[in-house]
Structure 1
Amino acid sequence: MKLFRLIAFLTLGFILTQCKQDKKASVEEITTKETASLPQEKPKDIKTPKGMIWVPGGNFTQGARNGDDKALSHERPAHPVHIDGFFMDETEVTNDEYAKFVEETGYVTVAERPVDWEELKKQVPPGTPKPHDSLLQPGSLVFKKTKTSVPNLYDFSQWWEWKIGANWRHPKGPGSTIEGKGDYPVVHIAYEDALAYCKWAGKRLPTEAEWEFAANGGLKNTLYSWGNDTEKLTVEANTWNGEFPTENTEEDGYENKAPVKSFPANSYGLYEMSGNVWEWTQDWYNVDYYKQLLDQGVVNNPYGAKSPYNPNNPLVEEKVIKGGSFLCSASYCSSYRISARMATATDSGQEHLGFRTVATPDMLKN
């Protein structure tokens, strides 16, 4: 996470304002026919890696479900996709798992590194004045509840705070700790931090299409990883209960992050594919990409756009994140839906952003 998040929250804006835009837009009536496809069996000569689940692959419709009145424009148009089978972590990568990686490699995350102003100023509008050296310190964004109701949910600076010293070891900033929270998802992880872990583990990040297919759990065109019943939200996912961002009733048992496996797995055996923390994918965020895919018919194993494109955030290269987090509520974001997606700068690490990994059979044969 570079310090330009602090400078008037210039580049974080699109990440969070997307949660509210286009709420009144009508849902496109797009129908994509799912062709018959038998699930792919796990290769008999490949042993399932510890902590991973075989996702059998097949055809599905990626993007906004018909009738989803919370779908945003960048979830459309829905388009047909084929995915080959792959292995996926059954949970988000935990603090203990990331700590083992850091211990063995000595890796230092983006949020822990000194801030380079010469690099930073390339990513903010020309003429942006250099902040005082006291502000040019490593840190990350931390959530803070507001004391009163917030009438303007576009002004995300009301509940995000730049905290010097916040990182994966100190998720709330100096004085906070992950002691006793080894089974919680690791957060404040920038894209390159996730890639470094993947390289060490011999795995990779999922594509957006793989992630969404896995979240479906073999169900057809459902809104959530458990089906279509919104009433099950508090028992199926860690999200925001109550008035956002001032009061969380903790009806689901948690105000902030939850340990992995705190909520039921989907039918593939994957935990917390809805809520808890956002998860990185390897796809570039490009507002034109879904339309390009629809024009191609059924696409096999799409790997995302060739380059990023976001007219709302043109100075920053962004990747797609999926799954929503403990901050998502019906009134703000509702990104615990399977088709929900957000754009995040590759150097962003936040209190509600983590990742999980995947591996394909060919990777495990090497």
Structure 2
Amino acid sequence: MKKLLLSSIAFIFLLTSCGSKTKGELTGVQGKKWYPEKPYGMELIPRGSFIMGKSEEDQAKLLNAPTKTVTVRSFYMDDTEITNSEYRQFVEWVKDSIVRTKLAILADELGIGPEEGGIGDYAFKDADTTRASVYDKYMLDNYSGMGETGYEGRALSKDEELVWNTSDYPDEYYTEIMDSIYLSEEESYNGQRTIDVKKLKFKYNWMDIEAAARASTKGNKSRKEFIRTEEVEIYPDTTVWIRDFSYSYNEPMHNDYFWHDAYSEYPVVGITWQQAKAFCNWRTKYKNDDNKSRGKQFVNQFRLPTEAEWEYAARGGIEGGTYPWGGPYVISDTGCFMANFKPQRGDYAADAALYTVEAKSYEPNDFNMYNMAGNVSEWTNSSYDPSAYDYVSTMNPNGGDQSNTRKVIRGGSWKDVAYFLQVSTRDYEYADSARSYIGFRTVQDYMGEEDSTQ
């Protein structure tokens, strides 16, 4: 019997060898064809070297940006700051997911499935065992009850549209869940109940690759020790319009700036560094969820730019330029201001804008980047250290100290004087702080061009 089994195995091996397409040659594992896409709303910043730091006079005498030649790899960058409209897409997705999760959990607790209608239409996908895949059934049998809530990993049903009109709620259970996400009657006024934005939290995991890499030489550690979990309230802090300016009437900006369609194409503000990081994680997930549904390969992550990447993109390929447009002046040949900032003491409107302007305002630089000077300052991924340029690498430099809560912001804003608009000027804010003059844009590492022949 043993000889017969060995003979069968040898015969099968012989058959597979004879049918090999490689003809015994080393051809490598044949993976899927890679056809990268240029990310929507982004521009390619080609790799290159530049002189980073203050090549002109350091008027503030901060001595925190000595000149240093560095090289950065190619990357894509948003051609504008992230707008209110784009950030609202994130907020709406989180709100939708929270409501669907609450509905699915209650349906599961009540034992109501899709066949019963009402809240059952929003039950977890695996609740309908007639339609559940083998994988869904396996995960339910083997991992149900694990995690903080016991519902982690179970897929939400998105076949049914959420109902927001109170007169169309399908049943009392649905009403109970919807009522739980709004502010109480006591906190409402003018007959309007609004969403409790403190409940809009985005939870995600990420791997601390740098910590894992440095720990690998100090003995074996479990991979899970380097997986970090973040849970972030993601709604912008609209009160920054009032808190940032004492004895100043800015209530209209507080009331309307983020949610009103009039400001959809303006840069989002009131965002902390942690919220900007959460947005990057969500954007990656959002794209890859779509790619997965279409059988396409995952894209690499969206993230905040390093300080060096930001300055390189802001310079637009112009060596030694003071501003993104190159020259040392903030007024063009025709007498127009070239950015949104505070040109004169107390005269915020001299450049034709009092607060922010639309993200695609003024002329872009030679990399087609808009508002790399003025409008809003921008978060970077780098931590602020006055002496960072003395020790960071000359290749893709980044002062990314996780324990340092001071994060570099760049570009100056609508409320700053021209000095802060210079491409080499460094500034910082604390990671948990939100301001009416700080926004962000994202980047993605470059992995190749689209194949135009396909």
| TM-score higher than 0.5 | yes
Gaps of 5+ in 2: 1-33, 99-195, 200-236, 285-301
Partner of 1:172: 253
Query: Normalising by the residue count of structure 2, what TM-score does the alignment of the two structures yield?
Result: 0.52
Change (3 A) 1:113 1:210: same
Work out which of the residue numbers 194, 215, 225 in structure 1 matches 2:324: 225
Work out which of the residue numbers 353, 360, 373 in structure 2 matches 1:261: 360
Distance 2:247 2:380 in 1: 25
Residue identity matched to 1:247 = D
Work out which of the residue numbers 37, 41, 46 in structure 2 matches 1:56: 46
From the two aligned structures, give the one with the greater helix fraction: 2
Kept after mapping to 1: 8 A contact 2:41/2:79: yes
Higher Rg = 2
Change (3 A) 1:72 1:339: farther
Q: Percent identity?
A: 32
Change (3 A) 1:161 1:221: farther
Asked if 1:324 is matched to 2:412, the reply is yes
Gaps of 5+ in 1: 1-43, 115-137, 145-156, 310-316
Distance 2:58 2:35 in 1: 45
- Deviation per CA, 1:326-353, whole angstroms, max 9, x where unpaired? 01124xxx20000112111101111001
Partner of 2:91: 102
Kept after mapping to 2: 8 A contact 1:239/1:328: yes
- Deviation per CA, 1:304-344, whole angstroms, max 9, x where unpaired? 143566xxxxxxx21001010001124xxx20000112111
Q: Which SS does the other structure have where 1:235 is aligned?
A: coil
Kept after mapping to 1: 8 A contact 2:330/2:338: no
Aligned pairs (5 A) from 1:131-280: 140-142=239-241, 159-160=245-246, 172-174=253-255, 178-202=260-284, 203-232=302-331, 234-243=336-345, 246-248=346-348, 250-280=349-379
User: How far does residue 69 in structure 1 lie from its aligned partner after superposition?
Assistant: 4.3
Asked if 1:340 is matched to 2:435, the reply is no
Shifted more, 67-76 versus 347-356: the winner is 67-76
User: How far does residue 247 in structure 1 lie from its aligned partner after superposition?
Assistant: 3.1
Kept after mapping to 2: 8 A contact 1:87/1:360: yes
User: How far does residue 45 in structure 1 lie from its aligned partner after superposition?
Assistant: 4.3
Partner of 2:396: 301
Change (3 A) 1:364 1:102: farther
Task: Give RMSD over aligned pairs.
Answer: 3.1
Q: Which SS does the other structure have where 1:321 is aligned?
A: strand
Kept after mapping to 2: 8 A contact 1:75/1:339: no
Query: Normalising by the residue count of structure 1, what TM-score does the alignment of the two structures yield?
Result: 0.64
Asked if 1:360 is matched to 2:349, the reply is no
Distance 1:57 1:351 in 2: 33
Change (3 A) 1:181 1:196: same
How many residue pairs get matched?
Answer: 261
Kept after mapping to 2: 8 A contact 1:240/1:327: yes
Q: Which SS does the other structure have where 2:49 is aligned?
A: strand
